[in-house]
Amino acid sequence: MNESIETGTGLNTEDMTISVGPQHPSTHGVLRFVVKTDGEVISEAIPDVGYLHRSIEKIGEKVTYHGYVPYTDRADYLAAMFANQAFCMAAEKLARTEVTRRGEFCRVVACELNRIASHLISVGTFGQDIGAMTPFVHALRERETVNNLMEEICGARLTYNYIRIGGVGYDIVPETLTKIGEFIDHLEPIVDEFNRLLSGNKIFIERLAGVAIVSREDAFSYNLVGPNLRGSGIKWDIRRDIPYSVYPELEFDVPIGTAHVGKLGDSFDRYWVRIREMQESCKILRQCLQMMPKGPAISKVPRKFRPPAGECYARVEAPRGDMGFYVVSDGSEYPYRVRIRTGSFTAMAIIDKLSKGIMLADLIALIGSLDVDAPEIDR
Amino acid sequence: MQAQEIYVALEQQFPGQVSDLKAEVLEPYLTVAGASIVEVCKFLRDRAGMDFEVLSDLTALDWPKEEKIQVVYHLFSYGHNHQIVLKVDLPRDNPKIATVEGIWKVANWFEREIYDLFGVIFEGHSDLRRIMLPEDWTGYPLRKDYVEQEEYDGISTQRAPLVEKLLR
């Protein structure tokens, strides 16, 4: 039992230990916190992860390079396209395989659509965690359209297995491209509507402004990535700063936290980065639809894919930030080692520190604002 | 800064502690002696011009033939947009190395994961527990010679292939 605390009034109180999760609705998958609280104020929140550990890294050593692509989908089911791409980029770098130009554009289109879908889930469930039910339904409705588009592109709604070594599995047909264009035209006003509904809502703002502030130093030390890093005012985006694919040819802004309603790096800033990133993704998609070149969607890649011995680390800017695949080849058909470094894992590591001294209800806001995704933590 | 320059600076600062620079590969890496990893990391983080403020990734590789486990540090600098990979060779039968938790806080979780899956002991670590697997799990799954235990807590981990079952 916890030690009792002298209050000086002759009455003693005790710290309370609560288990939040693993099936708590706000934990986005299966993860658990052991929370010590003094009344409603948290003194310690220790994350307990591993419930969804599927040993994706070990599986990587037992299947071929081509065969591993569907497994990467499962690393983060909300943004499977990015894991596909990061792994394929690593394999391509190792084997010095060219990607066709149309293939690159198909990748960017699919990825940005996926980013919109992932951010919609993130901001929608975030609202729900804080107690706003309606925006969740609105966000999910739009995401459903993205899933339909994805189904047209590659036949799957969540685990795509679309990006392959050398390009993409299937070309995107002109009809689908038209539909994507229509969807962007439809989505942009919806984001404004969403802002009226949720982002500008006084209750929502007051729940988030100034809560769980991440300083610049902590963001570096805990290696926060993606919107969580940018929320602390650091202008850093792999698409812009370590350019890959055709991103250097595309114009887009990198939104950062600006202390919009509270303090720099608070929960609202992180949320607000995601909203604006959806708008940037729309911009990127629109340019891609115009620039879409003709040609094959995938280059000729041998069925027996044997990259020379060596190692490489490929990063992409996933919705949850820097997703890195460290692939080591020993020259055989199977990877010697696949390491997946994900944004959620490092975001989870900071929760213990940020939760000290905040209210229990704010812990829920903190988890939501970091957009952690349990399967991506555990892999 | 190029890997070559980083290597030269490290050699000057820590004579005999760094070796084996591979600059002509996709991700240039160098080998650091296990005993001085903390000082090397601190130097790389704090020295002007290096400024590796971020530990992008920390993982390990198992090489049973060479009887070693390699711990691999991916360092990155936002300010200079450069990266360097450090490798430390540890004996496979008794892999021990000092923690870099004091330099980058995220190392706490990365090191727990390596401990869990490779069995590397990080000395001075504040909370070295298994992170992915249950506390009473035996063995380190990402080692190459890992044999899956037949049952865990009374639950069998073996399943007859479905086809065989149907044919029976």
pTM above 0.90, yes or no: no
The per-residue pLDDT for A185 is: 92
| Domain residue limits, chain A | 4-48, 56-354
Question: What is the percent of chain A with per-residue pLDDT over 70, rounded to a whole number?
Answer: 97
Q: What is the mean pLDDT of residues A5-10?
A: 67
CB of A330 less than 8 A from some CB of B: no
- CA A46/CA B30 separation, integer angstroms: 35
Residues of A in contact with B54 (CB under 8 A): 220, 223
pLDDT band at A3 (very low <50, low <70, confident <90, very high): low
Q: ipTM, 2 decimals?
A: 0.85
Chain segment A80-117, per-residue pLDDT in tens: 999 999 999 999 999 888 899 999 999 999 999 999 99
Q: How confident is the model at residue A340 (pLDDT cuts 50, 70, 90)?
A: very high
Q: Output the pLDDT for position A349.
A: 86
Total count of residues recorded for chain A: 379
Number of Cβ atoms within 10 Å of the Cβ of A70: 15
- CB within 8 Å: A346 and B109: yes
pLDDT given at position A6: 63
- Over residues B116-141, mean pLDDT: 88
Check CB contact under 8 Å for A222 and B105.
Answer: yes
Q: What is the pLDDT of residue A285?
A: 92
Four-way CATH pick for A56-354: 3.40.50.880, 3.40.50.720, 1.10.645.10, 3.40.640.10: 1.10.645.10
Measured between alpha carbons, how far is A375 from A296 in angstroms, rounded to an integer? 34
**Helix axis angle, A174-194 to A101-130, nearest 10°:** 30
Residue B51 in contact with partner chain A when CB distance is under 8 A: no
Q: What angle do CA A288, A291, A296 make, to 5 degrees?
A: 95
When comparing pLDDT for B109 and B138, which is higher? B109
Quote the CA–CA distance of A100 and A115 in Å, as a whole number: 22
Q: CA-nearest residue of chain A to B132?
A: A50
C-alpha triplet A178, A181, A185: angle, nearest 5°? 140
Q: Is B9 on the interface with A (CB under 8 A)?
A: no
* Mean pLDDT calculated for residue range A369-376: 85
φ and ψ at residue A324, rounded to 5 degrees: -115, 135
B25:A311 CB<8 A: yes
pLDDT of B89 higher than 70: yes
Mean pLDDT to the nearest integer, B137-150: 86
Is the confidence at residue A308, as pLDDT, over 70?
A: yes
* Cross-strand partners of A339: A326
Q: Is the pLDDT of residue B72 over 90?
A: yes
Q: Which pLDDT band holds residue A334 (cuts at 50, 70, 90)?
A: very high
Q: DSSP state, A172?
A: P
Q: What is the pLDDT of residues A163-215, one digit of tens each?
A: 999 889 888 999 999 999 999 999 989 888 888 888 888 888 888 888 888 88
Query: In this predicted structure, what is the pLDDT of residue A25?
Result: 64
pLDDT at A1: 43
Taking CB atoms and an 8 Å limit, are B105 and A218 in contact across chains? yes
Which residue in A230, A313, A340 has the most chain B C-beta atoms within 10 A of its own C-beta, making it the best mutation to test that interface?
A313
With tokens 């919609």, the residue in question is A120
Best residue in B41, B54, B112, B137 for a mutation probing chain A (most A CBs within 10 Å): B54
Average of per-residue pLDDT values in chain A: 87
Mean pLDDT on A225-253: 89
Q: Is B132 close to A336, i.e. CB distance below 8 A?
A: no
Which of B57, B131, B133 shows the shortest C-beta gap to A341? B57
Partner B contacted by A307 (CB < 8 A): no
In this prediction, residues B26-35 reach a mean pLDDT of 86
* Dist. CA B126–CA B121, nearest whole Å: 12
A6 compared with A362, residue with greater pLDDT:
A362
**Per-residue pLDDT tens digits for A107-151:** 999 999 999 999 998 888 888 888 888 888 989 999 999 999 999
At residue A5 the predicted structure's pLDDT band, cuts being 50, 70 and 90, is low
Rounded (5°) CA angle A193-A370-B55: 135
